Amino acid sequence: MPNEPKNIDEKIIRDWVEMKKLQHPKYWTKMKDKLEIVIRRKRRIQRISYAAIFMLPIVAGGLYLLLDTSSLSPTEQTLAKVLPGDKKAILYTSDGSSLVLSGDTLSLTEVNGTRILSQKNEGIVYTPRSADDKIEIYNTLVIPPKGEYNITLSDGTQVWLNSSSSLKYPVFFSDTLRKVQLEGEAYFVVSENKEKPFIVETKDYSIRVLGTAFNVMDYNDDNYSHTTLARGKIEILHENTRRILNPGEQALLKDGKMLIKKVDPHYYTTWMNERFYFDSESLENIMKKLSRWYDVQVTFRDEEAKQYHFEGSVPKYSSIKEICNIIELTTHVRFELEKNNIIVKIKE
């Protein structure tokens, strides 16, 4: 290097040299290559509809693929260990004893003779033995966090129960009424019987049914609840108001007010299948659902992120990492795991 004039700061000239080198066109070429990949990946993801989450305009769009899958961050590695729930329930029989069900085959007989059979695929099935046995006895099925279970009641009505929910029902329905009590979320396919209305009671309202399929979500720790009708007709009684729900309608109860809105019931009546569906739901509600299914705590570092909305679906039987990745891909939130707590924050 020249040793000539020293009074111009050598440091700033060295920086200038570095700057000049970095202004070489090869860097823009490299950048364009990366951009190509991102744009192509973005298009591909848009095409794969089953993995796509479409965003509402309020959420700034875009993908975030800075991290190669090969270089997972420590958080991602631990998120991968947060596994989904599976078939799990606790059955409380009329004598107060409890049975832990996990999909194994199990058979027992209630005091009134009703046979209870539990199998992996069919769930619990109640088969009445003697229709003349009128003793009103109740069973309660409790689904813990990270669990789900399905049950066929003695009248043939099928119920799918979601995590952290419970259903109390008579082992054998009386002559005049079929009444069950629900806490949490369940999807009902009620067998038709005009003479014996089917009633679902929750903490907020009672739903009167005449053969139909609908979903009820009414958790104690949510500040809203809703009932969505897929088929048939139901009547909702909330305090002193009586509302009829038609297929494709949802009764939403929030802050003590009942609102009927049109929805696509598919979003609300398919959670018992392979995927979770979100109908432009807030991130707050989504994380609440995930916290029940993965049994984790969720903390929002940025309040604002709670109001991000999502529409689309995510796989249900995979580690929470996959779901977090999909959400991270489509908006600027980031998930981190600390012990059993998922921290949600806005990127940057």
Partner 1 sequence: MEKEQIILLEELFTRYFSHLVLYSGKLVGSREPAEDIVQDVFLHLFETKRLKYATSSFLFTCVKNASLNYINLSKKRTIPLSSTQEAIPEKDIQEEIAHMQQLERLDAAIESLPAKCKEIFKQVYLQGQRYEDVASQFGISYHTVKAHMTTAFQHLRKHLLVLLFLLRNVKFARK
Of residues 44-73, which lie at the interface with partner 1 (CB under 8 A)?
Answer: 60-66, 73
* Residue with Cβ nearer partner 1 (81 or 261): 81
Stretch of residues binding partner 1 (CB under 8 A), selected from 45-53, 94-102, 113-121, 334-342: 334-342
Query: Among 8, 48, 58, 131, which residue interacts with partner 1 (rule: CB under 8 A)?
Result: 8
* Closest distance of CB 313 from partner 1, Å: 22
User: What does the CA dihedral 288, 293, 296, 299 come to, rounded to 10 degrees?
Assistant: -20
Report helix, strand and coil shares of the chain as percent, to nearest 5: 25, 40, 40
Site string for partner 1, 286-305 (x = CB under 8 A): ---------------x----
Stretch of residues binding partner 1 (CB under 8 A), selected from 10-18, 99-107, 118-126, 248-256: 10-18
What are the CA-CA distances from residue 20 to residues 1, 4, 27, 84, 99 (Å)?
17, 21, 12, 52, 74
Answer yes or no whether residue 17 interacts with partner 1 by CB under 8 A: yes
3-state SS assignment for residue 79: helix
Residue found under tokens 């049914």: 209
Answer yes or no whether residue 26 interacts with partner 1 by CB under 8 A: no
Q: How many residues bind partner 1 (CB under 8 A)?
A: 46
Query: Cβ(273)–Cβ(284) under 8 Å?
Result: no
Return the number of other C-beta atoms located less than 10 Å from residue 267's C-beta. Answer: 20
How does DSSP assign 304-331, residue by residue? GGGG-EEEEEEESSS-HHHHHHHHHHHS
Answer yes or no whether residue 31 interacts with partner 1 by CB under 8 A: yes
Residues in contact with partner 1 by the rule CB under 8 A? 1-2, 4-5, 7-9, 12-13, 15-23, 27-28, 30-31, 34-35, 38-39, 42, 60-66, 73-75, 301, 332, 334, 336, 338, 343, 345, 347-348
